[in-house]
Each structure stands twice: as structure tokens, then as C-alpha cells.
Structure 1
Amino acid sequence: MDKFEKLTGVAAPMPMINVDTDMIIPKQFLKTIKRSGLGVNLFDEMRFDDDGNEIPDFVLNQPAYRNAEILVAGDNFGCGSSREHAPWAIKDFGIRCVIAPSFADIFFNNCFKNGILPIVLPQEDVDKLMDDAQRGSNAVLTIDLENQTISGPDGGEIAFEVDAFRKHCLLNGLDDIGLTLEKAGAIQSFETKAAQERPWV
């Protein structure tokens, strides 16, 4: 998993509430178990019409936000079914941070496991960042995970909270497998000792 330390990028505004996982990645794209390749289908039914043409009004189709790395969203983001394909699609598109007043629990947890930083902020702070994000290509935010701050285009700063263990995992690029491999020496030592003491196993 890629490390998340400091991210400076364009923030795209999506003030919709209750954006569910089927909106993030519709069910017809869930046939793969690969984490890559889903970015082209992110928000598919909002990005494209029935003929596969881009819908110009959708935020991620607008020139200023095509390469957005941060999403400023509405309340209850990621609700609905517990598909892990949703954070896979978000990350594959290039978005590494989602900011919202609240998230669905399973989606929130899946973000951390896939190298995405979900930040929960009071509505008034989200409103300020949403206003910043309306500036198009000038809507550049800096997310500093180590110091737990968000810096806006005018130099203003907002602090955010994050669980210490999850912060450690993101800063060091550790998913569940990476955490296990940190204990590889101890695991090997145990296996060697167990094989000596119980060779019949």
C-alpha cells in the first residue's frame, strides 16, 4: 500500500448527501477482484449518459477537476452496500482523500485499508472547504497527515482528528498484510520452535 504523508492536490466539490456505494461504483462493475482498472467506472451513472458520452455538468468531467486528488463531499458518504470496490475505484481514479461531515462505517474502514484518508469534519468546516473547492483548478488543498491539518488556498488551516493506529498504518503504507509482515521474524521463530517441539504436526 502506498504511504500517505502529505498530499497537495485539487479538491473537487460534491455537496450531495447520501452518496451510496452503488453510485460510487455501480453493481455491473463488481465482477473483478482486481483493485486496479475501476477508476474509469467511478460514479459511472453520473459521469456518462446511456451512450457512454460524458455528462459535461458532472464535476469530475469538468477540466479543472479531471485530476482531482481530494473529494469534498456531503453527509453520510459511502452508505449502502459494503462493497470494497468503492474505495478501489476512488483510489484508482486518483483520489487519496475524502472529506465529509460523516461516512458510513464500513466504507470508512475500507478507505484506511486501501490507502485513502477519510476525514470527518464539522459541517461548518466542510462548508468552508466546499467553498474553496468551487475555485476550479485553484482549489488546491494540502493534507498533512503527520500534523493532522488541512491548508486551504488562502493559507487558512483546519485541524482534523484521526485514530492513532490508522494514522500509523497510512503513514507507513501498512495494510492488513503489511501489518502481519512486520511480525515476520516472530512468526518464523514461532514456526521453527513449534516444528522442533512437535515434529509430528
Structure 2
Amino acid sequence: MKTLHSLHALVVPLDRPNVDTDAIIPKQFMKSVARSGFGRNLFDEWRYLDPGYPGQQDERVPNPAFALNLPRYQGAQILLTRENFGCGSSREHALWALADYGIRVIIAPSFAAIFHANCFKNSVLPVVLDGATVERLFAAVEARPGYRLHVDLPAQQLITPDGDALSFELDAYRKRCLLEGLDDILITLRKSERIKAYEQRRKLLEPWLTDSAAVTDKPP
């Protein structure tokens, strides 16, 4: 898991509400459980004019009107979008595609609940801002090529190029996971010694649960 403390990065706008996970990564590309390699098919049906398929090696035809293909947004790590982002199916591949492309922060008025939870499992920060603030950001990004935001996770703020601080709410546990690069497995492993000690005590107190030699047949 990558850590995230602060980030100063280019913003790319996706001016669409209700973007579902099938649009983020179409189902035909969900052929692997590895987390890498999905970035090239992020927003595939919007990003390319020709149909895509798994294992495709030939050159694709990019959609010149799609934001991710515009030269001014190349290298963007912050995605600005509209309400209910990540709705639809619960596929975690959607986050794998975004993270593999390089997106570290997503700003929207709201997120689908499962997608929002999956963000923290993939070192992506979902920032919820009110609709009016998001609207102002869209206008600023459009008006100023090279528009960047500074993300200060410890302070829970986005700093605009003009110095305005936009505060956002974040659950303390999830904030810690991003700051320390933790997922559920890594958090569990941090308690491995305590888990081993518990299992050893359990074997002494209740040996019949783990020791087949201690099990005796009883009449029905």
C-alpha cells in the first residue's frame, strides 16, 4: 500500500454525474486479479473511438474530445468529477484502473458507498466537497491550463493556486490508513504477536478444539 501525506498535482475534469464502475473499467477487461495493467483501459469506451478487448496489442484510436486525452491534462493525479461517482457494481477493479493510471485523489460532491470504501483499500483519497465548491473548481480548471491543487491530508485541506483552503471531512481510521499505507490485512498483521499468544492460550485451555488426539468418541 502506498502512503499519502501530501500531493501537489494537476487536476483533470470529468464533467459527468453518476459515473458507474462499468464506465470506469468495462467488464470485458476484468480477466485478472492482479492490481496492475488496468490503467490503459480506464474509461475505455469514452477514451477510445474503437472497441477494446483484453490482450489488445494494436494501437487504439483516442477520442480527441475526452479530457484524459487532452495534452493539458497529461500526468494528472487528481480527478474532479460530479455526484454519485463510482455507482453500479461493487467491482474493485475500478479502483485498480484509476490507481494504475496514476489517480491518487478524486473530488466529487458524493460517492457510491462501496466505491468510497474501496478507495481507502487502494491508496486513493476520495474528497467530498459541496456542489457549489465543485462547480467553482470546474470553472477554475477550465479557465486555467495547468491548474493544480495541493492536498494536505494531515490538515484535511485542499489548497488552491490562489491560496484558498478547502476543508474536507474524513474518518480518523481511514485517514490513518492512508497516512501509514495500511489496508485490513496489514492492520491485522500488526497484531500478529497478540494473535499468536491468544492461539497458544486457547490450545492450553481448550485442546480438543485443535488437537485431534484429544478428541474422544462419545456414545450418541
TM-score interval, smaller chain: over 0.9
Superposed CA deviations along residues 89-111 of structure 1, whole A, max 9, x for unmatched, are: 00000001100011111111111
Report 1:83-162 matches (<5 A). 83-135=91-143, 137-162=145-170
- Whole-Å Cα distance in 2 between the matches of residues 134 and 112 of structure 1? 29
1:25 Cα deviation from its structure 2 partner:
0.3
Q: Name the SS for the 2:76 alignment partner.
A: coil
* In structure 1, distance between residues paired with 2:144 and 2:116: 26
Higher mean C-alpha deviation, range 124-133 or range 27-36: 124-133
Contact 1:96 1:115 (8 Å CA) reproduced? yes
Q: Could you tell me the TM-score, scaled by structure 2's length?
A: 0.87
Aligned to 2:12: 12
2:102 alignment partner AA: G
Matched, 1:64 2:72: yes
Runs of 4+ in 1 over 6 A off after TM superposition: none
Partner in structure 1 of residue 182 of structure 2: 174
Task: Tell me the residue number matched to 2:26.
Answer: 26
What's the counterpart of residue 37 of structure 1? 37
Structure 1 position 35, deviation (Å): 0.7
Runs of 5+ consecutive residues of structure 1 not aligned to the other structure = none
CA distance in 1 between partners of 2:142 and 2:196 (Å): 53
Query: Conserved in 2, the CA contact under 8 Å of 1:112 and 1:170?
Result: yes
CA distance in 1: counterparts of 2:141 and 2:31, whole angstroms: 33
| Cα distance per residue 1:67-105 (max 9 Å; x no partner) | 110000011111111111001100000001100011111
Report how many residues are paired.
201
In the TM superposition, residue 131 of structure 1 has moved relative to its aligned partner by: 2.2
Deviation at 1:136, TM superposition (A): 6.0
**CA displacement at 1:195 relative to structure 2:** 3.4
AA at the equivalent of 2:48: F
In the alignment, the residues of structure 1 paired with residue 62 and residue 21 of structure 2 have an alpha-carbon distance, to the nearest angstrom, of: 20
The one-letter amino acid of 2:182's match is: L
Aligned partner of 1:3 in structure 2 is 3
1:96-147 residue CA offsets vs partner (Å, 9 max, x unmatched): 1100011111111111111111011100111122223225652110111100
Q: Give the Å deviation of 1:66.
A: 1.9
C-alpha separation in 2, matches of 1:27 and 1:107:
16
Measured in 2, the distance between the counterparts of 1:147 and 1:179 equals 23
The unaligned stretches of length 5 or more in structure 2 are: 52-59, 211-220
Is the Cα–Cα contact under 8 Å of residues 73 and 146 in structure 2 kept in the other structure? no
Counterpart in 1 of 2:213? none
